Structure 1
């Protein structure tokens, strides 16, 4: 019997990206704490949160023994600091000022968990921002796009105009690295739909 795939995320971007793979899936709403532990590396933090999401999704499906749950997390990291989602316009502008003219890492972790085990893929991309002046930052923040986005930008939106160079996975920066996710799903026995 083909396993049933679930995405433990309410992110419309992750849903859209997973649809590109072509597999049937259902969406689960999970809520897990996203707090970095003292001494935890950014990579370990991102991986743990993604795993926690997948495990929480699987726990909610205790009746479905064939279920496979995909959990993902993506964070922007600069100087070992994890940039979460900005709380307000001032926080968004402060993040963009820090990223201006610099290269930061975007870490995306994906976990696939089921009754038979757990597997993980991690993708790290390097993104260099152009130098941003205050009017550019203010104009971008005023669009509202930075809110709900790690690092206060969306590479798939107007935020693309801030990115001078990307070395890595475009879909990973969006929130779900497709190459790594596809490899994980195939290992889990899930192939694209015909």
Structure 2
């Protein structure tokens, strides 16, 4: 009884081969360990467009709280995004500098001296206590920002913001006494710790 063969139609043969390949690929895919690609711990964003697109996307996903420490110019640019977040029930905590009348919030701690070049306006935002952006923007410098979800950085920014609020409350309660003892805006006090050595000016 010799073996007998029948001819398959080309479309039947290709369909059979395709099915076998698809089954093999599906097996490989399901058997491989599942691993999400890791995001970089810190990454840098450059340019106004990229920075504010990234911010808008993150602010739109905020669920609980947004902490904002910005100058007047950046506050105006972020106003619509932050208003939409507030309308969703997200709590907003503001600190704004550089102008009067836009926010009833404290002026920050007297500016610390700069090391090296850079005359831009610093800004920072923390979203839901997990994501943060810290950057600089201005007419005399390129817009750059660092983004991270590292808990050390988010913790530092939140602590800095909390200190500003505490200082604001102290100023409201003991303003005249503080100024008489330490000088306007505590310049005499801060100068003890933050004076810049002449060799790095």
Q: What TM-score does the superposition give when structure 1 sets the normalisation length?
A: 0.23
For the pair shown, which has the larger CA radius of gyration, 1 or 2? 2
Structure (1/2) with the larger strand percentage? 1
Structure (1/2) with the larger helix percentage? 2
Q: Which has the higher contact order (CA 8 A, sep 6+)?
A: 1
Q: What TM-score does the superposition give when structure 2 sets the normalisation length?
A: 0.23
